[in-house]
Amino acid sequence: MKRFNCLCCGECCSGDIDIFINHYDLYKMAKHLQMTGTKELFDKKFVELKEGQNNVFLPKIHFKTYPYKFCPFLINDPDENNILKSYCSIHPQTKPLVCKLAPISREYDTETGRTQYFYTRLADSCLGNHDCDDIDVQEVISPFLKEIKYEEIFFQTLDWIIKSRITDYSDELYYFPVSCGYDDIILNNSLFRQQILIT
């Protein structure tokens, strides 16, 4: 079995890319940064909303723009050989699911509930090992099954919002306090409750 070997060059965490994150990622980040709620992530410009597929607004990491575009969680440090390396300051637990699974991407079908996993080259200039055709997807995803389930509930919720033609949902969906457990948060959110009752 092949394993992906990241050389910490930071290319996939900088430049003109969109790192879309999920609802549980917001919770993890706000908790980690000792915020009282997720609105602070938006107010302090760690996260922004961007219109995606089906005109739905999704949270994405707000990249810094000076001296170049890069993720606000990226830090550069020299290694023991004094070679500059780029590290994720919220690795391993808090970083978004999409970053945890990389270089595996997932496509979730809300109709069938099925997920397709595939290997994605992270950046054209990525120096990591790309000989990943027979990478063991199950091994990559198995530590994150709970987060994957949360993401599926989030995608189903977005799907229900679109089908219900609800337009004014962003504040209710994306701003929430993080003082209690995540299960309680989604159970007490009227948008999620609709979804959980249906599924």
Among 30, 128, 158, 195, binds ligand SF4 (CB under 6 A): 128
- Amino acid code (one letter) for 196: I
Residue 84 engages ligand SF4 in binding (rule: CB under 6 A): no
99 versus 148: smaller Cβ distance to ligand SF4 = 99
Residue 166 engages ligand SF4 in binding (rule: CB under 6 A): no
31 versus 172: smaller Cβ distance to ligand SF4 = 31
Alpha-carbon distance of 100 to 138, in angstroms, equals 14
Rounded to a whole number of angstroms, the minimum distance from the CB of residue 49 to ligand SF4 is: 17
Q: Which range touches ligand SF4 (CB under 6 A), out of 38-46, 66-74, 153-161, 174-182? A: 66-74
Alpha-carbon distance of 54 to 141, in angstroms, equals 27
Residues near 73 by Cβ (< 8 Å), separated by ≥ 6? 13, 46, 61, 88, 89, 90, 95
Rounded to a whole number of angstroms, the minimum distance from the CB of residue 65 to ligand SF4 is: 15
| 8 A C-beta contact, residue 125 and residue 11 | yes
Q: Where are the beta strands (DSSP E) in the chain?
A: 47-51, 57-61, 74-78, 84-88, 104-108, 115-119
Residue 99 engages ligand SF4 in binding (rule: CB under 6 A): yes
Among 22, 58, 95, 150, binds ligand SF4 (CB under 6 A): 95
Among 30, 41, 47, 71, binds ligand SF4 (CB under 6 A): 71
Among 33, 56, 126, 137, binds ligand SF4 (CB under 6 A): 126
94 versus 156: smaller Cβ distance to ligand SF4 = 94
Alpha-carbon distance of 195 to 199, in angstroms, equals 6
What phi and psi values does residue 59 have, to the nearest 5 degrees? -75, 140
The conformational region for residue 73 under phi > 0 = left, psi -120 to 50 = alpha, else beta, is: alpha
- Contact residues toward ligand SF4 (CB under 6 A) are 6-13, 19, 61, 71, 73-74, 88, 90, 95-96, 99, 122-123, 126-128
